[in-house]
């Protein structure tokens, strides 16, 4: 445990002891206990207590009433936030997400019984003794995801738990128990009731976390994505369905033609080697032969931010421009892709290629040899062209600048004003941009 994590853990136990000193039961609960037992990094500390919310607020100097209806108060201590929730039992989930009502209860074991997975249903007292009524530690030792009680009941309460089960399995390197997997497949239609933003958040966390290849395997094999609340692009769904049916993966060639009829999912095993979620999305989706337009549609459906959508679809667009090019055209294709989509897209493409084990010396040299990559970097402006050629401004200006950019970027022409003006004159006199 790192020093900052140890400090967070100690402060959490101090809150537990303060509640106990005031005559209440209190425990660290949930993910922090799971991660403590696995010696994983700690990110936040949750506390469960027999104290009612108003008693918690009276006991600590700085509190926030973040969820009084459900018994939750946030206690601020030494700059850290700790969620303190009263032991509770939950009523039915008519909306498939939140309990219709909660009932405060006096016993920690009854509180733990409402939780999703056994390794999230453990509690730790101030004496650091484990309360584990459902075998969470056994699940950790066995490396499995097991539900508290019947999986069908847990997924019926909140269908998002099916995605959480997959995410935990991938993140921890665990297996889904057969009854958990069977319940996911049986009840996958319930995902229709879950807001797309919640689905997107879980999916994005799978992509960005440990074991994204395992997460995507479970996600596609389960068929869950057929039942998200909003339609996803047909090209994506066809690729996901091919994987569900046959599971065959392939190593895609950035210069080769996509093999859409044979391929179902490509580049999957390389995802952990990529440093951020956007690169992983880009590699995965282009590996599935999803073009830039469909990638952008998918990202918008998932409510991914515009900035991230542009980057991820830019990766797909970059590789689209390289596909099926013969060897003698590859440098021109690479340069054209950089001009169309920018140096950042080229950098992303190189990172993905290197993670996939491709030799990128030629592509790197092509990028480095480009003097410029945007019209703004040309040593001539549109008004200068108009004045030099004694022609009124018009669409010809942007067309001429674009051709000058391509010639400079490919090394055919120096980025020097007189050379550019002379070349522009030759273009217009030749009738190409007159």
Q: How confident is the model at residue 431 (pLDDT cuts 50, 70, 90)?
A: low
Q: Region 297-309: what's the mean pLDDT?
A: 98
Contact between residue 315 and residue 345 where contact means Cβ atoms under 8 Å apart: yes
Q: What is the pTM of this model?
A: 0.89
Candidates 1.10.246, 3.30.420, 1.10.3470, 3.30.700; CATH matching 376-429: 1.10.246
Contact between residue 55 and residue 85 where contact means Cβ atoms under 8 Å apart: no
Please give the pLDDT value at position 243.
Answer: 86
Q: Region 69-76: what's the mean pLDDT?
A: 92
3-state secondary structure (DSSP) of residue 275: coil
Q: Region 380-408: what's the mean pLDDT?
A: 92
Please give the pLDDT value at position 92.
Answer: 61
Max mean pLDDT among 93-102, 166-175, 320-329 falls in 166-175
Homologous superfamily (CATH) of 1-136 is Beta Polymerase, domain 2 (3.30.460.10)
Please give the Cα distance from 114 to 120 (Å, whole number). 10
Please give the pLDDT value at position 67.
Answer: 85
Nearest residue to 402 (alpha-carbon basis) of 371, 433, 426, 429 = 433
What residue has token string 């480009």? 370
Please give the pLDDT value at position 366.
Answer: 94
Phi, psi for residue 375 in degrees, rounded to 5: -60, -35
Phi, psi for residue 70 in degrees, rounded to 5: -105, 15
Condensed to tens digits (0 to 9), the pLDDT of residues 123-153 reads: 999 998 999 999 999 999 999 999 999 999 9
Please give the pLDDT value at position 188.
Answer: 96
Please give the Cα distance from 4 to 12 (Å, whole number). 12
What residue has token string 């008004």? 383
Phi, psi for residue 243 in degrees, rounded to 5: -65, -40
Please give the Cα distance from 297 to 46 (Å, whole number). 37
Q: Region 77-87: what's the mean pLDDT?
A: 93
Q: Region 366-389: what's the mean pLDDT?
A: 93
Average pLDDT value for the chain: 91
Q: Region 204-223: what's the mean pLDDT?
A: 94
Q: Region 47-68: what's the mean pLDDT?
A: 94
Task: Assess whether pLDDT exceeds 90 at residue 22.
Answer: yes
Beta-bridge partners for 123: 29, 131
Task: Assess whether pLDDT exceeds 50 at residue 210.
Answer: yes
Task: Assess whether pLDDT exceeds 50 at residue 355.
Answer: yes
Please give the pLDDT value at position 260.
Answer: 46
Please give the Cα distance from 242 to 119 (Å, whole number). 33
User: What would be the CATH architecture of the domain defined by 143-230?
Assistant: Orthogonal Bundle (1.10)
Task: Assess whether pLDDT exceeds 80 at residue 398.
Answer: yes
* Low-confidence winner among 137-151, 258-272, 373-387, 394-408 (lowest mean pLDDT): 258-272
Contact between residue 244 and residue 220 where contact means Cβ atoms under 8 Å apart: yes
Task: Assess whether pLDDT exceeds 70 at residue 303.
Answer: yes
Please give the pLDDT value at position 261.
Answer: 45
Please give the pLDDT value at position 263.
Answer: 45
For residue 71, is it left (φ>0), alpha (ψ between -120 and 50) or beta? left
Nearest residue to 312 (alpha-carbon basis) of 333, 288, 334 = 288
The DSSP-derived string for 337-394 is HHHHH-HHHHHHHHHHHHHTT---HHHHHHHHH-S-SSGGGSSS-HHHHHHHHT---S
Domain boundaries, the chain: 1-136, 143-230, 241-370, 376-429
Please give the pLDDT value at position 165.
Answer: 98
Contact between residue 72 and residue 83 where contact means Cβ atoms under 8 Å apart: yes
Q: How confident is the model at residue 39 (pLDDT cuts 50, 70, 90)?
A: very high
Max mean pLDDT among 27-31, 94-98, 268-272 falls in 27-31
Q: Region 363-371: what's the mean pLDDT?
A: 93
Q: Region 400-412: what's the mean pLDDT?
A: 91
């Amino acid at each position: 445990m790192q020093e900052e994590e140890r400090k967070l853990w100690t402060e959490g136990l101090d809150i537990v002891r303060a509640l106990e000193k005031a005559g209440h039961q209190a425990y660290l609960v949930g993910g922090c206990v799971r991660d403590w037992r696995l010696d994983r990094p700690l990110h936040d500390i949750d506390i469960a207590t027999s104290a009612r919310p108003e008693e918690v607020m009276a006991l600590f100097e700085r509190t926030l009433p973040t969820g009084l209806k459900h018994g939750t108060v946030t206690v601020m201590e030494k700059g850290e936030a700790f969620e303190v929730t009263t032991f509770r039992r939950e009523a039915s989930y008519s909306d498939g997400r939140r309990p219709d009502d909660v009932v405060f209860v006096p016993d920690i074991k009854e509180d733990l019984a409402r939780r999703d997975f056994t390794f999230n249903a453990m509690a730790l007292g101030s004496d650091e003794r484990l309360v584990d009524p459902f075998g969470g530690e056994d699940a950790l030792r066995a490396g499995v995801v097991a539900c508290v009680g019947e999986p069908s009941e847990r997924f019926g309460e909140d269908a998002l738990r099916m995605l959480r089960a997959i995410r935990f399995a991938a993140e921890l390197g665990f297996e889904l128990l057969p009854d958990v997997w069977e319940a996911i497949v049986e009840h996958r239609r319930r995902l229709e009731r879950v807001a797309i933003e919640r689905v997107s958040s879980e999916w994005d966390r799978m992509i960005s976390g440990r074991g994204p290849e395992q997460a995507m395997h479970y996600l596609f094999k389960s068929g869950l994505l057929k039942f998200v609340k909003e339609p996803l692009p047909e090209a994506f769904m066809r690729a996901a369905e091919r994987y569900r049916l046959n599971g065959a993966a392939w190593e895609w060639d950035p210069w080769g033609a996509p093999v859409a009829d044979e391929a179902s999912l490509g580049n999957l095993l390389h995802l952990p080697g990529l440093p951020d979620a956007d690169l992983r999305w880009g590699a995965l989706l282009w590996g599935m032969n999803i073009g830039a337009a469909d990638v952008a549609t998918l990202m918008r459906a998932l409510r991914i931010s515009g900035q991230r959508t542009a980057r991820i679809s830019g990766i797909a667009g970059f590789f689209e421009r390289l596909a099926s090019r013969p060897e003698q055209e590859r440098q021109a294709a690479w340069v054209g892709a950089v001009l169309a989509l920018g140096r950042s897209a080229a950098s992303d493409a190189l990172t993905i290629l290197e993670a996939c084990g491709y030799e990128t010396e030629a592509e790197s040299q092509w990028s480095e040899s480009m003097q410029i990559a945007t019209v703004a970097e040309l040593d001539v402006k549109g008004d200068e062209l108009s004045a030099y050629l004694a022609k009124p401004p018009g669409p010809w200006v942007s067309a001429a600048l674009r051709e000058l950019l391509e010639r400079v970027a490919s090394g055919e022409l120096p980025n020097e004003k007189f050379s550019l003006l002379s070349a522009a004159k030759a273009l217009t006199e030749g009738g190409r941009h007159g």
